[in-house]
Amino acid sequence: MSELKVTVLVENTVGISVGLLSEWGLSMLLDFGDERILFDTGEQGSLLANAQAMGIDLKQINRVVLSHGHYDHTGGLLKFLQLHGSVPIYAHAELFVDHYGCGVHGQGNKYLGVPFRQELLESVGAEFHWCRQPLELRPGLWLSGEVPRRTAFERVDERLIQIRQGHTVQDSVPDDFSLFFVSQQGLIILLGCAHAGLVNIVEYAKQVTGEQRVRALIGGTHLGPASKEQQEKTVEYLKSLNLSCLAPNHCTGPAMSSRLASEFPHQFAWANAGHTLEF
């Protein structure tokens, strides 16, 4: 069996026509053979119908990891818990901070945070494990913890804000987590939205794990709404990694995904709902 099988349960688009639903959000299943970990839950709960259509039993999930407290990564959590029951959930200690977007879709301040109260989720089985530092969830699999922001060109989307005591402040999204898996051929890095910056995340993965080879990048890169400078410098950085798999999705956006497919024709893989990547 492969070391790791990653199945995209929810994404903005559908990759195979087997009755799957798309929604603005992301949810991926990590299958290690002896353990299954759900990474994010999408926006509306389509992961239940999609998993059923793909023959995946969500009741067999052992743990859940939440990349950050935005609705499009946590919105399916209630429906999942109602189906699954009690399960450990690993997330940043500030998961339930009030995230907002300013001027998103031409609107005023829009609430972007977790759609449910912590008490409601706990009442249906959520067993939260809060962390800020890197945590080894199983041999070779690391939860990133807070990612240091070291690059000069990677910036959090300026439309993301918090409202504190009536004052609007920039939201740095400190709760942005990724997963690092040390495979025999190098790091497999799974991204929620990469609000911390793709380069920052990869460099921190090397630091945390001690593994310098980067084999695969999978998930949301947030390069879609990034500045031209950030896009160009990130592409140049990716060219230096000697990747064997680049599978961006979600907030990468169609234009940037097409650009990456062109720049990395041999490494690029689509990561729409329904697709599976085996390592």
Q: What CATH number is attached to the domain comprising 211?
A: 3.60.15.10
Q: What is the mean pLDDT of residues 51-58?
A: 96
Higher pLDDT, 32 or 169: 32
**pLDDT band with cut points at 50, 70 and 90 for residue 107:** low
State residue 105's pLDDT score: 59
* Share above pLDDT 70 across residues of the chain, in percent, rounded to a whole number: 97
**pLDDT band with cut points at 50, 70 and 90 for residue 115:** very high
Predicted TM-score (pTM) of the model is: 0.96
pLDDT in tens, 73-92: 999 999 999 999 999 999 99
**Statement: residue 17 has pLDDT above 80:** no
The radius of gyration of the chain's CA atoms, rounded to the nearest angstrom, is 17
pLDDT in tens, 165-203: 878 889 999 999 999 999 999 999 999 999 999 999 999
State residue 15's pLDDT score: 80
State residue 117's pLDDT score: 97
Taking the CB of residue 134, how many other CB atoms lie within 10 A of it? 18
Q: What is the DSSP letter of 124?
A: T
The HSE-up count of residue 113 (CA atoms within 13 Å, CB side) is: 18
pLDDT in tens, 118-165: 999 999 999 999 999 999 999 999 999 999 999 999 999 989 999 888
Q: What is the mean pLDDT of residues 82-106?
A: 90
Range of the domain at 212: 5-278
Residues 250-263, buried b or exposed e (16+ Cβ, 10 A)?
A: bbbbeebbebbeee
Per-residue tokens: 28: 């991926």
**pLDDT band with cut points at 50, 70 and 90 for residue 109:** confident
CB proximity list for 233: less than 8 A, separation 6 or greater: 151, 153, 199
Taking the CB of residue 58, how many other CB atoms lie within 10 A of it? 19
Higher pLDDT, 156 or 107: 156
Higher pLDDT, 64 or 166: 64
Closest CA to 122 of 150, 98, 89: 89
State residue 106's pLDDT score: 60
Q: Please state which of the ranges 100-104, 195-199, 223-227 shows the lowest mean pLDDT.
A: 100-104
State residue 143's pLDDT score: 98
Distances (CA, A) of 87 to 42, 48, 78, 81, 141: 17, 16, 12, 8, 18
Distance, in Å, from the CA atom of 35 to the CA atom of 23, rounded to the nearest integer, reads 26
Length of the chain, in residues:
279
State residue 1's pLDDT score: 54
The total number of structural domains in the chain stands at 1
**Statement: residue 218 has pLDDT above 80:** yes
